[in-house]
Structure 1
Amino acid sequence: MTIAVHSTAETDWAHWHTRCSARLLDPHHRPDPIARYPLGEAPEQLPDVPGTWWVVDGRVFIAAKPGDRLDHEGNRIAGIEILDPVEGGPGVLLRHDERALEIIRQDGQTVIRIYSPADEHTR
């Protein structure tokens, strides 16, 4: 038998991430992002967002170091991560410290939206 021990911060993040994911997928109760950045084909650094971001053929490339504290599906990005957001589909979620980053693709444009846990009024 294996028993997993999680820190309070990991548990708190998991609960917040679950709530945030549900809110982002609910078309009737979507919180407002604290920031929104369109992504282009040229690699660029975004204000207050670590890493370098660019899009090629609808795929999002993120170049980041472990110290950037960008996580995707529970794994720290260290190098280049390639994500495939679906046109008009639910966004791809990443974590940066206490914020959620949602990458969406709509009408041929790729956008990153930043959400803060301070948006808890949307629960």
Structure 2
Amino acid sequence: MTIVGHTSVDTTWTQWYERCSVRLRSPHGTSDPVARHRLGEAPEQLPGLPGTWWVIDGRVFIAAKPGDRLDHAGERIAGIEILDPVDGAPGLILRHDDRALEVVRQDDRIGVRVYAPAD
């Protein structure tokens, strides 16, 4: 009997494990969100978060000024940032001061999870 390895499965699992390990070592760890917000089509300000948020055709629009201190991919948002969260994929991470904001998509629902630093 010959056993053949499943390279793509092994690679996918390894990548997933590495992402989880990084998250466990992050200041936010695996803590539960301190807040959750569901996004809709109408632009709105979310309680305790900077900027204005809304969804069009499954894409998240965030309008923010540099003074809002809202960062995505290491860059300060100054204007409108458009995010395209994928259903079932890890969320897209933004930073506001010492908090992590995770933009997630589950089926047709799009929301923001807010994580505070672990104590």
TM-score for the superposition, normalised by structure 2: 0.76
* Between structures 1 and 2, the one with greater strand share: 1
Residue 22 of structure 1 corresponds to which residue in structure 2? 23
- Cα-to-partner distance string for 1:16-45 (whole Å, 9 max, x where unaligned): xx989624xxxxx84200000000000000
Q: Distance in 2 between matches of 1:56 and 1:65?
A: 21
What is the TM-score with the length of structure 1 in the denominator? 0.73
> Secondary structure, in 3 states, of the residue corresponding to 1:87?
coil
Gaps of 5+ in 2: 1-18
Gaps of 5+ in 1: 1-17, 24-28
Structure 1 runs of 4+ with >3 Å offset: 18-21
Counterparts of residues 26-65 of structure 1 (less than 5 Å): 30-65=30-65
Structure 1 position 109 matched with structure 2 position 105: no
Task: Kindly report the root-mean-square deviation, in angstroms, between the aligned alpha carbons of the 2 structures.
Answer: 2.0
Question: Are residues 85 and 111 of structure 1, via their aligned partners in 2, closer, same or farther at CA, if it must alter by over 3 Å?
Answer: same
Aligned pairs, how many? 97
Q: Which entry has the higher C-alpha Rg, 1 or 2? A: 2
CA distance in 2, matches of 1:19, 1:71: 22
Calculate percent identity across the aligned residue pairs.
Answer: 66
Instruction: Answer yes or no: is the 8 Å Cα contact 2:23–2:30 preserved in 1.
Output: no
What SS does the corresponding residue of 1:50 show, helix, strand or coil? coil
1:91 corresponding residue in structure 2: 91
